[in-house]
Every structure is written in structure tokens, then in C-alpha cells.
Amino acid sequence: MTTNLLRSLTIMLTLAACSSSRNNNYTSQTQPANAEAFAQPKIGSDRSPQSLMDLPQTEFGGFVLKPGFYEAEFKTYCLQPGTPDPRQGDAYLQQPITGYRKDIVESVLLNSKERNDIDQKNIQLLLWSTVSGSDFNRLPRSVQLDASKLLTSKQLFELKGGVVGVIRTISSTTGILNANSDIKKLFETSINSYEAFEKIAVRREQSQVIKKGVKADQWYKQKENYYVRYFPESYKKVKIQVYVPDGLLDTDNKANNEYVVFDPTGQQAIPAFTNAQRLGIGAPVIIDIVRTVIKINKPSPPKKTTDKPKNSKSA
């Protein structure tokens, strides 16, 4: 019996290691393959960025771009427990949410934009519980209540175990078996210390370089021909800079008769050349109460609303 148990454990660890390797390879492969995507815009070293928050926004919170150099800070969340905290000099790029329960993770991030009343720590605990496959009913009551403000009843049903056996797939989808297992055990003890979960999820060690040749201040050219780059301060916050070249848009600040919209919320920032944290991007750190709203025909990304008609807006 002992031999069989050891054999099973060996197989599980081997599968987890292979999954982790696949995830690392995927991270490096998501970088733009086109050489033009790495072409760097020429911005004067003495040029200071304007606030991204000063730009008009869509009814869904996306930023309607116009020529210029901009930046803003956004709240971020650890989506890959058991990996190092971002350090100064780590290069990051944007990618859609991937992995286990990605639809729920995306909904939490998107809807957090409209719920500034929710503590960032509660959102992080909800996300750790979600990606680790932990028992939703073991979450602190305050986190469960906040979850009901961010998710639909169907999504809450899934988190409460409505989909039989889905939790068993966790080890093959994240590749971070030990950290997720430890987080699940911690939730089962009903410990309410945020720092206890953070200690497991965020490794306080220097990230390892897994790909060379990428600069920390690397700009990434988007398909609409503007540029974006990311500077994480920790797993909790990232500074995002956007550069829109002169001549890219017409006199109405449109390209091909459409506004160019930038909205990182609901996406993830992934490390370009290290094994550091994957970061889910939430709401801006500073929310302007008064803003100029421009309605567009094709909002991107679409807002995922909860069951309750709070703060609903017509498209």
C-alpha cells in the first residue's frame, strides 16, 4: 500500500512539473513574434506622461485614446499562487485571462471596476480561493458577501461545488500544485489572516530569468498601432504607460471611423522573461468621480454584469 501511495504521489508531482513547464513555455511564446511589434517609439527622455484618467472613457470604463503619452496605476491581483512577487526590472505584457475558472476570474476583475467599496484584500482572497479550487463556504463571511456583488448566481453556484468533480482538475491546469494545496488547507482551517494566505501565495524571493533579450522598459505595439508597457510595483499594483503616436488618428481622434479604446481591466499582465507572478488587472487605483463618457458601438471588452441591476448602463 505504501509503495502504491508513493507511486501515485510521484506521478502527481511529475504531472505538476510538466504542467508548470508548459505554462512557462506558453508565457514566453505569448510575446509578439513579429519584429515590428518590438519596434520602439521615439519619446524624448524629458517628456513626462499625462494621466490616463484625463482621457474620455466609454460607458464601460475603457479609455478613448488620442495622440500622446499617458500613464495610470491599476490594482492587480495574484493569479498564480506559489510564484515570486514581481521585482524592479521585470518586464510585463498584456494577455487575456487563461487557466482554471478563467471566466469567473475575468468577471471578478471586470466588475471590481464598479465596486470601489470592496476591499482589495477581499477580492484577492476570493481570487485565491477561485484559482486554487478551495471551498467557497470556507471563505470569511465578508468575502462571501463581496463575491455576491461581483458574480452571478450561476457563478456562485459553481464556486460552492455545483459542478461535480471540477476541483480535481486543478493540478493539471495551474501547475502550481503545492501552493494551491496549501491554500486550500488554510481555507479549511477558517483562518482569517490575510498575511497567512499571502505568505503561501507570494514567494518573497528573486524571480528567475527564463528568457533573455527583453528589456524592462520594452514597449509592445498593439494591433491598433499604439504602444503599451507595464511596470509592476508588487503583485498589488502596476503602472501602465500608453503611447499614441502623432498621425495615428484623424482630426476626430478616430482610426477607420472608429475610436481606439484601451481597457486593461479584466486582462492579465504576464512576465515577459521571468517566472514571477501573473497579475490580474482590476480597477484604476484612482477613480475620477467626474469623467467624460463617449458611447461607442463596439465596447471592448464587454462588461460582465451581476444578477442585480446595480449601476446598470445602456449600451
> How many CA atoms lie less than 13 Å away from 109 in the CB half-sphere?
31
pLDDT at site 178: 65
Residue 41 placed within a domain? no
Q: How many domains does the chain have?
A: 1
pLDDT digits (tens, 9 = 90+) for 62-72: 999 999 999 99
Residue 291 placed within a domain? no
Q: Which domain holds residue 152?
A: 2-31+47-284
Instruction: List the chain residues with pLDDT less than 70.
Output: 1-38, 162-178, 180, 288-292, 295, 297-315
Q: Which residues, in sequence order, are CB contacts of 215 under 8 Å at separation 6+?
A: 91
DSSP state of 162: I
Residue 227 placed within a domain? yes
Residue 305 placed within a domain? no
DSSP state of 45: T
Q: How many Å apart are CA 179 and CA 20, to the nearest integer?
A: 12
First to last CA, the chain: 61
pLDDT digits (tens, 9 = 90+) for 245-262: 999 999 999 999 999 999
Residue 299 placed within a domain? no
Residue 313 placed within a domain? no
Residue 220 placed within a domain? yes
pLDDT at site 149: 97
> Which regions of 148-207 does DSSP assign to beta strands (E)?
202-203
**Which among 185, 211, 227 has a CA at the least distance from the CA of 71?**
227
pLDDT at site 241: 96
Residue 187 placed within a domain? yes
Reported pTM: 0.75
